[in-house]
Chains A and B, each alone.
Chain A
Amino acid sequence: MDQNSTCSGYSNSYREIFQKRIVESGYEALSASALEAASNATTLSDLIEVWATVGAKCRETTAPETPEIADPVQARFMELPLRDMMKSMALERACGQWTGPPENFTPLLAKLYQTADVQEQQAIILVLPLLNSGERFIHVATEAARTNIVPVFSSLALNNPFPQEHFTENQWNQMVLKAIFVGCDITRIAGLAERHNPALSETIFQYVSERNSASRSVPRSVVELCERALSDTSQHKLNAIKSDLRQE
């Protein structure tokens, strides 16, 4: 699959869901003024002020009850409160309309992330694929890949094309492994097949062996991923333990 089309499909979806939610909730005016203010932002405090205004005026502070959306990526965007989605769109607007030196936007976004609450961090990570020259923000994405706050980690790892496009093989493998460890549904990782590699298969094999020795189960999807690029030697070993292995 072409990576750019993955990213633009995601971005279009994100904008579409945002528009829909704004209209349904009657926050068009607030959204318009926030995005307008964001496009004129030239400093961190400008952006903080936009966020504070959105925070004070948008009362949609929790995610809607399980929405009926079949598309998994679109459903993902409903997990964020509208207020935080609005903050993320303000960030996107500020990034797109930035008139200062491009390199100044990177530390601004980093600082915003460092001082953000949980939902704001999710909002920043979810909007990363919409920002131009995304490679400027790999550092923030790496922070999210390391966090112990599972909702923030999932914002990066699940249904988000940013890692697929920007992570090195090592970063990618660490993220997938962590997703397995925290019990995420790895089939939701964007680019799981495209970015798979033999080194990852071997590491997952070690994980599967350890789980088996501890008589613990392994999701079927993890075993499948493991077998995608496994060396013959490891495949033999895996075959030998397969009858004992509890798959779920």
Chain B
Amino acid sequence: MPYIDPHIHVSSRTTDDYQRMHAAGIVAVVEPAFWLGQPRTSVGTFQDYFSSLIGWERFRASQFGIRHYCTIGLNSKEANNEPLADEVMEILPLFIVKDGVVAVGEIGYDDQSDAEDKYFRLQIELGKKFEKPILVHTPHRAKKEGTLRSMDVLEEHQVPPHMAIIDHNNEETVKEVLDRGYWAGFTIYPDTKMGKERMANVVQEYGSERIIVNSSADWGVSNPLSVPDCAAVMRERGIDESHIRKVTYQNAIESYAASGQFNPSDWEESFSFDQAELMEGNSVLRGQKPITGTS
């Protein structure tokens, strides 16, 4: 069964992870632009980061039979450096129009500061201008309040709810997000916050309509196999296969479809990979025996 991880920071992961993800059935990933654990200090490092999302990382994923997409945006944490944030805003359009960019994101609130609010709104307008969905990161602190506020702001800017994914939900936020018509992303964390068992409970209670599971795996403690692992738990619970498929594959496609950049045909038919063409010395393979196959 194929899976999509619609939110994973694969740039921070190793090639072992890519191999395990491919073996577990992950056919496509979306890497939202985020921060790197410490704040950047110049616009050039942002530009290089965005370039790597549409260049090197896309190529790296393809070597392991995984189709890589990304979202482009200025994250909330780094929005607090206003002079730099203004420079980043200037280069965002260069990247938002690129092939394989499926949304503006992940944007939203962290501390819920005035600067965060300002750049959240400016980027919502950017999403509207380029007709891209908005991927909203909800804060880990004051989550409920931050989530409601994010949706209020989207409504103020007249973003139709099907054009926004509200991410990192939990039991406290899910009802309102679904009631207001948005896509609801859930991040499965290994220890804290949302876990696989709780996720299965959510699907049992709310069904599979507009619910999306992701790993948000990055440089922190996280699991790049969260999506297939969570599917296994749901299967053990006896949740219907059609629901599992929706929350671990189909809804991801539909939520990003409005970008015109996320098409199953990209990975269903034409995507074959051949590591042999890379050989040693210069690729991520460094002399190992290449694997040849089709995703």
Contacts and interface: CB of A to CB of B under 8 A. Distances in A.
Interface stretch (B47-55, B75-83, B213-221): B47-55
Interface stretch (B24-32, B138-146, B194-202, B274-282): B274-282
Interface string B20-51: 00000000000000000000000000010011
Given A48-B94, A118-B54, A149-B59, A55 B99 contact: yes
Given A117-B54, A117-B55, A55 B282 contact: no
B159 interface: no
Contacts of A151: 59
Contacts of A149: 55-56, 59
A182 B95 CA distance: 29
B51 A182 contact: no
A55 B59 contact: no
Given A117-B55, A149-B55, A182 B98 contact: no
B279 A181 contact: yes
A115 interface: yes
A151 B60 CA distance: 12
B284 to A, nearest CB: 8
B99 A182 contact: no
A34 to B, nearest CB: 14
A144 to B, nearest CB: 12
A143 to B, nearest CB: 11
A178 interface: yes
B242 interface: no
Contacts of B100: 117
A224 to B, nearest CB: 19
A160 interface: no
A221 to B, nearest CB: 15
Interface in B69-125: 91, 93-95, 97-100
Given A114-B47, A182-B283, A148 B99 contact: no
B282 A48 contact: no
Contacts of A48: 93-94, 97
A181 B287 CA distance: 11
B59 A182 contact: no
A117 B260 CA distance: 17
B283 A150 contact: yes
B14 interface: no
A114 B55 CA distance: 10
B289 to A, nearest CB: 12
Nearest to B96: A52
Contacts of B97: 48, 51-52, 55-56
Given A117-B58, A117-B100, A183-B276, 7 more contacts: A52-B97, A115-B50, A118-B58, A148-B282, A182-B278, A182-B281, A183-B277
Interface of B: 47, 50-51, 54-56, 58-59, 91, 93-95, 97-100, 260, 270, 276-283
19 contacts: A48-B94, A114-B47, A115-B50, A116-B51, A117-B54, A117-B55, A117-B58, A117-B98, A118-B54, A118-B55, A120-B98, A120-B99, A121-B55, A148-B56, A150-B277, A150-B278, A151-B59, A181-B279, A181-B281
